[in-house]
């Protein structure tokens, strides 16, 4: 029975299919909102699903000179990392499936797995655009990862626990966006960096390096990376909402809150110009990391 | 200083080298010099400040005449001084390079050598500029005895393109011919050290259509429609320049009303071109919102052009001897309405590009070109004006209705991308104002006058300010129903030197914006000669293409 439950939770709920579909819905919401901000019509609601089906059905071209195992393995690892992370995160305002002390750190590292896999995939692709893209992806990872982690540690320190379940229980009565506004901003912008959304889309700046690390990917591999990315979006948005916007509460209200967060992200994506990679790194280390550290310091002092 | 004084200055400067002089038109001076004196004469022209080298025309006088000529056109405001160098038709004539004095001349010299079969001694890069790499040796399209049958492609290794900057054992990022950053095919190679560019090189000529050569087989009227198709953005520029030149040759006086309508359409074309540019550069910067907004507003002007001329791209409003469509009360009302909207939007965009902090991070101090560099590289149009160099044919040599409806020039001293935005957007406001003035004060007159079928023999130079800078036309007639030679030099070609020279030291991420910043137009650039591939035919029907694709796929 235990095993069956575990399989169900990985295959269907909360990870697995339900997460993939909600990832597509989030992706659609994001694309639609950005399109509306940009004075476009935007895609229909099933467009991400149609894209995925199309990609899965397409031929996968393997470039010459790549390590085959890595080329086909990395997308799978990336997606499974993102799906596993979902087990510890309260998606849709429902208590996480599994929980243990310190699962916050595990979740964050599982989320980074996707970015690492993309970097490796780009490096493995033996294409010039991919290599430049991979370098940028990994450079950017080192830029936003520390501030993002620190921003999520703020609520954890306030709740005196590194267990997502406990932190969420604490934030339910404490709106962290009010108590730690700096942390919220850094978490939100860090999430955009993690998802490589504009203005942090230098790793896949199409006008310079085509599609960055994923230039050589097509068909199934590309689809898996895309799914992984939208799953990460669901997890990231849920995590930030649960930590900073008043915990879980009612699932419907939680959904509304995370959609509100998505709206803010779409707005930022529309109004900001892409940063060069040196500007991204400079911004995170000169402003992001220092602000996050100052907030942690303030928390320690005030406690 | 008036035009006569300028011509006199050039005449004095060239006196030591002059073999023969004649003045084909009031604003022109042709000086015949020996091939050996070319570099000295060029130096004398530059030293006496007699303008910039605007184009080199290769002219074959025919087998009977027994010689060819290379014409070096120097433009100094309205005055055009042409150095005519006589070259033998026998064997491979030689001429000295002036590229060390005028860097942009290396492009002209490459074109001259591949089209006319002149060896340019000492030119930095002797490879093909426009012609394909598999073009046969010893076949020169601009010679009068050129036959298309001779131009069958030959097998050969692609020659290495000489580099600018350090290229050696480096990581090279290729951009193009097919790349998301490029809307038209061109090929760039950037050697990068991390993200910093250490070398840049370029290959043009992917969109040859052989238009210059094709004009020689068509009559004067057909050519108007052929030349309009050089560029999809500044089509009216080309018809204006051509019509103006041919009308001068035929001594046909066009009515003021027709000239004013031509200027009106040119203004609208400038608005459409600059708004398109704004969107493209914003997209290169990853600012798609501005891209979408500016292209939405561009629709206003496109609809207006469609309402007036019936077409959105090749407006076909000019005919030889006038214009086709009139501006009535209904049209002027919609023009005013469109201008109201556009002026408001352009002010808004100007505000964004000059105040948005994130945007300024990507434009301020990027690709800065000083005024001296702009002169050295031979920059034209808004690219030059953004560096404080006033080069605008509308001001220097007012043509058509610009004599009566002058424009004010916008310049900026800063020379970076930010300045290019400011110059182009302010120019739009000026253009909107000019359009309003024109519509309110259209002179009376007929739309067209009678135009002869044959144009009297003669040569003329016709210069028009395109949205990107000066377009140069040299038209030669021998009194027949079709031209003997039409030489076209479009502004994009002149601006390349500045971008390539400025690339080194910048970041890879800045390159798409810098390339787009000069508003390149590959179609204008490349237009020289028919390319024939191995299977002999260059046209493929849709079914052939499909069958070819399937076959290619199966045979992998």
Q: Does residue B318 have a cis bond before it (omega within 30 degrees)? A: no
Residue B289 CB burial class (10 angstroms; 0-12, 13-18, ≥19): buried
Residues 6+ apart with CB under 8 A from B35: B85, B86, B87, B93, B94, B95, B96
Interface check B359 vs A, CB under 8 A: yes
> Which whole number is the average pLDDT over B348-367?
87
Give residue B194's region: left, alpha or beta (phi > 0; psi -120 to 50): left
CA distance B369 to B70: 31
What are the beta bridge partners of residue B474? B461, B487
As annotated, the residues of chain B forming the CATH 1.10.645.10 domain(s) are 211-525
Residue B141: pLDDT band with limits 50, 70, 90:
confident
Q: Residue A130: closest CA among chain B residues belongs to which residue? A: B173
A205 CB neighbours in chain B (<8 A) are 286, 509
Per DSSP, helices labelled H in B364-408 are 371-377, 381-385, 393-396
Nearest CA in chain A to B181: A207
Question: Quick one: angle between helices A128-159 and A181-194, nearest 10?
Answer: 150
- Cα–Cα distance for residue pair B446/B253, rounded to 1 Å: 11
Angle made by CA atoms B418, B422, B424, in degrees to the nearest 5: 115
Report the pLDDT value the prediction gives residue B527, as an integer from 0 to 100: 47
Q: Is B105 in contact with B124 (CB distance < 8 Å)?
A: no
The radius of gyration of chain B from alpha carbons, rounded to an integer in Å, stands at: 23
Strand, coil or helix: A272: coil
Q: Average per-residue pLDDT in chain B?
A: 83
List of E strands, A177-227: none
pLDDT of residue B167: 45
Q: What does the pLDDT read at residue B428? A: 92
Instruction: For residue A146, give every residue at least 6 positions away whose Cβ sits within 8 Å of its Cβ, in sequence order, or none.
Output: A284, A289, A292
State how far the Cα of B444 lies from the Cα of B256, in Å rounded to an integer. Answer: 7
- Whether B532 shows a pLDDT value over 50: the answer reads no
What lies within 8 Å, CB to CB, of B298 at 6+ separation is B271, B272, B275, B276, B279
- According to DSSP, the residues that pair with B469 across neighbouring strands are B466
In the predicted model, is pLDDT for residue B125 greater than 70? yes
Residue of B nearest to A37 (CA): B289
Give the distance from residue B287's alpha carbon to the nearest chain A alpha carbon, in angstroms.
5
CA distances from B364 to A40, A199, B361, B416, B490 (A): 29, 18, 6, 6, 28
**ipTM value for the complex:** 0.84
CATH 1.10.645.10 fits B211-525, yes or no: yes
- Give me the residue from A131, A207, A278 closest to B512, CB to CB: A207
Distances (CA, A) of A256 to A22, A269, B295: 14, 20, 34
Q: Say if residue B535's pLDDT is above 70.
A: no
pLDDT at A12: 66
CB B94 within 8 A of CB B86: no
Whether B525 shows a pLDDT value over 60: the answer reads no
Length of chain A: 303
Alpha-carbon gap: A162 to the closest alpha carbon of chain B (Å): 36
pLDDT tens digit string along A39-65?
889 899 889 999 999 998 888 888 877
List the single best residue of B195, B283, B360, B417 to mutate versus A (max A Cβ within 10 A). B195
Q: What is the pLDDT of residues B153-210, one digit of tens each?
A: 777 766 555 444 444 567 788 887 778 777 777 788 888 887 888 877 777 777 777 8
A119 by Cβ neighbours in 10 Å (0-12 / 13-18 / 19+) ranks as buried
d(CA B285, CA A198): 11
pLDDT value for B405: 84
In order, the DSSP letters of B211-256 are HHHHHTTS-HHHHHHHHHTT-SSSHHHHHHHHHHHHHHHHTPPPPH
Q: Do B361 and A275 touch (CB under 8 A)?
A: yes
Question: Which residue, among B14, B24, B525, B516, has the nearest Cα to B234 in the 3D structure?
Answer: B525
B171 has a chain A CB within 8 A of its CB: yes
pLDDT at B350: 92
Residue in B173, B289, B358 closest to A270 by CB? B289
pLDDT at B423: 92
Q: CA–CA separation, B253 vs B116, rounded Å?
A: 34
Closest-approach residue (CA) in chain A for B195: A132
Bridge partners of residue B448, in order along the sequence: B322
Domain B3-162 listed as CATH 3.30.460.80: yes
Of A288-297, B353-362, B498-507, the range with the lowest mean pLDDT is: B498-507
Q: Is B403 buried (19+), middle (13-18) or exposed (0-12) by CB count in 10 A?
A: exposed
Cα angle B30, B31, B37; round to 5 = 145
Phi and psi at residue B74, to the nearest 5°: -105, 125
Instruction: Report pLDDT for A11.
Output: 67
In this prediction, residues B470-495 reach a mean pLDDT of 87
Tracing tokens 């406990």 back to the chain, one arrives at A166
Mean pLDDT calculated for residue range B32-44: 86
Strand duo B469-477 + B171-175: pairing: unpaired
H-type helices in B82-183, by residue range?
105-116
Q: What is the pLDDT of residues B425-455, one digit of tens each?
A: 999 999 999 999 999 988 888 888 888 888 8
Cβ contacts below 8 Å, chain A against chain B, sum to 77
Residue of A81, A70, A60 lying closest to A227 (CA atoms): A81
d(C-alpha B535, C-alpha B328), whole Å: 53
CA distance B290 to chain A (A): 8
Per the CB < 8 A criterion, the answer to whether B165 and B200 are in contact is yes
pLDDT in 10s for each residue of chain A, 303 residues: 677 777 776 666 666 788 888 889 889 999 999 999 988 898 998 899 999 999 988 888 888 778 888 888 899 898 888 888 888 887 776 777 777 888 888 888 888 888 899 888 888 887 888 888 888 899 888 888 888 888 888 888 888 888 888 888 787 777 777 778 888 888 888 898 888 888 888 888 777 788 888 888 888 889 999 888 888 898 888 888 888 887 777 788 888 888 899 999 999 988 888 888 888 888 888 888 888 888 888 888 877
Q: Which of B179, B293, B359 sits opposite A273 (nearest CB)?
A: B359
User: Does pLDDT of B524 surpass 90?
Assistant: no
Local confidence band at B314 (pLDDT 50, 70, 90 cut-offs): confident
* Cβ within 8 Å of B, A 119-138: 128-129, 131-132, 135
Are B261 and B326 contacting, i.e. CB atoms less than 8 angstroms apart? yes
Question: What tokens does B48 get?
Answer: 């006496």
Contact A132 B192 (CB under 8 A): yes
Instruction: Look at residue B268 in the predicted model and tell me its pLDDT.
Output: 92
Distance, CA of B483 to CA of B473 (rounded, Å): 12
Write down how long chain B is.
Answer: 556
Question: What pLDDT, on the 0 to 100 scale, is given for residue B137?
Answer: 81
In this predicted structure, the answer to whether residue B293 has a pLDDT above a threshold of 50 is yes
With contacts defined as CB-CB under 8 Å, which chain B residues touch A275? Answer: 358, 361
- Give the Cα-Cα-Cα angle A136, A142, A144 (nearest 5 degrees): 100
Given pLDDT bands bounded at 50, 70 and 90, which one contains residue B311?
confident
Report residue B533's pLDDT band, with 50, 70 and 90 as the boundaries: very low
The predicted structure's pLDDT at residue B246: 92
How far is it, in rounded angstroms, from Cα B410 to Cα B386?
8
């Amino acid at each position: 029975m235990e095993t069956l439950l575990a399989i169900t939770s990985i295959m269907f709920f909360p990870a697995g299919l339900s997460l993939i579909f909600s990832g597509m819905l989030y992706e659609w919401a994001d694309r639609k909102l950005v399109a509306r901000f940009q004075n476009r019509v935007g895609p229909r609601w099933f467009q991400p699903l149609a894209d995925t089906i199309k990609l899965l059905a397409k031929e996968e071209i393997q470039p010459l000179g790549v390590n085959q195992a890595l080329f086909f393995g990395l997308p799978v690892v990336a997606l499974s990392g993102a799906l596993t992370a979902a087990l510890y995160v309260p998606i849709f305002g429902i208590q996480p499936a599994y929980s243990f002390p310190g699962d916050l750190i595990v979740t964050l590292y599982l989320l980074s797995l996707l970015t690492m896999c993309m970097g490796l995939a780009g490096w493995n692709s033996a294409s010039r655009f991919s290599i430049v893209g991979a370098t940028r992806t990994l450079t950017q990872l080192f830029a936003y990862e520390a501030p993002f982690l620190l921003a999520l540690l703020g609520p954890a320190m306030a709740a005196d626990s590194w267990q997502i379940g406990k932190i969420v229980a604490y934030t339910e009565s404490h709106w962290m966006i009010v108590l730690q506004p700096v942390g919220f901003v850094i978490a939100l912008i860090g999430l955009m960096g993690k998802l490589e959304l504009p203005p942090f889309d230098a790793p896949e700046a199409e006008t310079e390096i085509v599609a960055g690390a994923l230039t050589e990917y097509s068909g199934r591999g590309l689809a898996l990376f895309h799914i992984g990315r939208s799953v990460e979006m669901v997890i990231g948005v849920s995590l930030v909402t649960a930590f900073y916007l008043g915990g879980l509460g009612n699932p419907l209200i939680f959904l509304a809150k995370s959609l509100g967060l998505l709206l803010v992200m779409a707005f930022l994506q529309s109004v900001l110009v892409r940063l060069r990679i040196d500007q991204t790194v400079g911004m995170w280390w000169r402003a992001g990391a220092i602000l996050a550290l100052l907030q942690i310091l303030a928390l320690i002092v005030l406690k | 200083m008036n035009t006569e004084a300028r011509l006199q200055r050039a005449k004095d400067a060239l006196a030591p080298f002059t073999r023969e002089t004649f003045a084909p038109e009031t604003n022109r001076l042709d000086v015949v010099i020996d091939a050996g004196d070319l570099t000295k004469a060029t130096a004398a022209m530059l030293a006496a400040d007699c303008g910039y080298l605007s184009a080199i025309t290769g002219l074959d006088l025919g087998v009977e005449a027994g010689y060819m000529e290379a014409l070096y056109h120097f433009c100094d405001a309205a005055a055009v001084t042409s150095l005519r160098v006589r070259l033998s038709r026998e064997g491979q004539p030689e001429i000295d390079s002036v590229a060390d004095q005028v860097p942009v001349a290396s492009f002209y010299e490459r074109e001259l050598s591949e089209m006319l079969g002149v060896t340019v001694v000492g030119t930095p890069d002797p490879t093909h500029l426009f012609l394909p790499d598999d073009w046969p040796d010893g076949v020169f399209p601009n010679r009068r005895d050129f036959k298309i049958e001779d131009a069958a492609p030959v097998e050969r290794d692609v020659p290495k393109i000489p580099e600018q900057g350090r290229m050696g054992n480096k990581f090279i990022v290729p951009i193009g011919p097919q790349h998301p950053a490029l809307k038209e095919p061109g090929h760039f190679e950037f050697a990068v050290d991390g993200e910093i560019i250490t070398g840049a090189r370029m290959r043009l000529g992917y969109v040859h259509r052989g238009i210059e050569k094709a004009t020689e087989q068509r009559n004067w009227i057909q050519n108007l429609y052929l030349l309009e198709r050089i560029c999809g953005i500044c089509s009216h520029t080309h018809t204006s320049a051509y019509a103006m030149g041919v009308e001068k040759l035929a001594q046909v006086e066009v009515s003021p009303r027709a000239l004013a309508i031509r200027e009106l359409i040119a203004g609208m074309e400038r608005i459409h071109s600059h708004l398109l540019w704004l969107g493209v550069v914003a997209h290169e910067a990853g600012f798609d919102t501005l891209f979408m907004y500016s292209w939405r507003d561009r629709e206003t002007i496109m609809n207006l052009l469609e309402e007036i001329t019936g077409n959105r791209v090749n407006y076909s409003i000019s005919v030889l001897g006038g214009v086709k469509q009139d501006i009535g009360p209904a049209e002027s009302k919609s023009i005013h309405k469109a201008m109201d909207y556009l002026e408001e939007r352009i002010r808004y965009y100007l505000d964004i590009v000059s105040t948005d902090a994130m945007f300024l991070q990507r434009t301020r101090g990027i690709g800065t070109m000083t005024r001296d560099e702009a002169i050295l590289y031979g920059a034209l149009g808004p690219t030059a004006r953004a560096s404080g160099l006033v080069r605008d044919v509308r001001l220097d040599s007012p043509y058509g209705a610009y004599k009566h409806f002058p424009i004010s020039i916008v310049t900026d001293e800063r020379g970076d991308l930010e300045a290019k935005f400011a110059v182009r957007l302010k120019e739009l406001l000026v253009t909107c104002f000019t359009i309003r003035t024109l519509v309110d004060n259209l002179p009376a007159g007929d739309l067209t006058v009678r135009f002869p079928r044959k144009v009297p023999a003669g040569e003329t130079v016709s210069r028009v300010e395109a949205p990107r800078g000066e377009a140069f036309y040299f038209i030669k007639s021998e009194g027949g129903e079709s031209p003997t030679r039409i030489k076209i030099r479009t502004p994009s070609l002149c601006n390349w030197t500045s971008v390539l020279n400025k690339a080194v030291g910048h970041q890879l991420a800045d390159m798409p914006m810098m390339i787009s910043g000069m508003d390149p137009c590959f179609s204008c650039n490349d237009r020289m000669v028919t390319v024939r591939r191995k299977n002999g035919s260059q046209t493929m029907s849709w079914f052939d293409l499909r069958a070819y694709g399937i076959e290619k796929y199966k045979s992998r």
